[in-house]
A = this chain, B = another copy of it.
Amino acid sequence: MLSERRLQVLRAIVQDYVGTEEPVGSKALTERHNLGVSPATVRNDMAALEDEGYIAQPHTSAGRIPTDKGYRLFVDKLAGVKPMSPPERRAIQNFLEGAVDLDDVVARTVRLLAQLTRQVAVVQYPSLTRSTVRHVELLSLAPARVMLVLITDTGRVEQRLVDCPAPFGEASLADLRARLNSRVAGRRFTDVPQLVEDLPEAFEVEDRGTVSTVLSTLLETLVEENEERLMIGGTANLTRFGHDFPLTIRPVLEALEEQVVLLKLLGEAKDPGVTVRIGHENAHEGLNSTSVVSVGYGSGGEAVAKLGVVGPTRMDYPGTMGAVRAVARYVGQILAES
């Protein structure tokens, strides 16, 4: 177990390194933080911290920098979440309230997060897993062609073209529309399959094929919608990564383009609060020198999606966590209102 002072030393190292981006030595530490002890003492503590794997030296006789393990301890034990100031909160709220539709909400959220944290922001579109169906619309485009429009309670709209195995009359279509909506409107996505299971039986034999086709398209759409979309922004902030960033930045850009990777990344965060994954804690190796700060957000009590930022492990964790948490909270409010 580390003594109280050693923890303070670690905290000071993290703070200084995040600020200066340069390895920090014992002397500088005692000057900038009044720890009440001499550099020599700090040196001993640093040696101990290094033995434990919390800090490391890039090369002999340079200062120390925190390791992933060091950051982990810092985040877990040594630093809280820095709350946003009231003016910042107001700015966030104002900015988000200007949004005109869901796309705009997401777009604004991305910009906001990127600006506040000066890092790369990632925002997942509100998930439909927990969403409910608001309305299903069926439009006849041709005798054997139907357009299916799904509207969810989060305001998303998805459409699919359905080629019917047989011509389908307007009357049958209206019938299907009515039956379908009476069963699924207001219900959860996950409940829909069993709710419509026996629906084809209510129709004439010659229409059953078409009804089945429409239904299976609907189910596909529901599933597909769960493959979330997301939006990223603030990639220009990657240039602040470090001096050697040509090598670092490349895999990060590649990872950011793989939506699957990002979704998995956000998905891994299970905590109700802000989750931080540091360096090698990230499964994707392109992101081994980055940290991901993420949190769920949602209109009600339930989180319907996640958002977060990706930045260098050397980041201001308390500030970033505060910004991410605040933005998530206000986005949730906006979604609840609309």
Contacts and interface: CB of A to CB of B under 8 A. Distances in A.
A256 to B, nearest CB: 8
Interface of A: 101, 134-135, 137, 139, 141, 147, 149, 151, 155, 157-161, 233-236, 238-239, 245-246, 249-250, 253-254, 256-257, 338
Contact of A147 (B139, B151, B254, B257): B151
A149 B151 contact: yes
Contacts of A245: 246
A239 B234 contact: no
Contact of A233 (B135, B159, B257, B338): B257
Contact of A141 (B134, B158, B254): B134
A257 B235 CA distance: 8
A235 B235 contact: yes
A101 B233 CA distance: 24
A135 B149 CA distance: 12
Contact of A236 (B134, B139, B147, B257): B257
Nearest to A240: B250
A137 B134 contact: no
A253 B233 contact: no
B250 A234 contact: no
Contacts of A139: 135, 137, 151
A161 B250 contact: no
B149 A157 contact: yes
A149 B161 contact: no
Nearest to A102: B159
A7 B149 CA distance: 58
A137 B12 CA distance: 61
A253 B239 CA distance: 9
A136 to B, nearest CB: 10
A61 B141 CA distance: 70
6 contacts: A149-B157, A155-B159, A235-B253, A235-B257, A239-B246, A246-B246
Contacts of A135: 139, 147
A257 to B, nearest CB: 6
Contacts of A254: 236
Given A135-B139, A149-B137, A151-B159, A234 B257 contact: yes
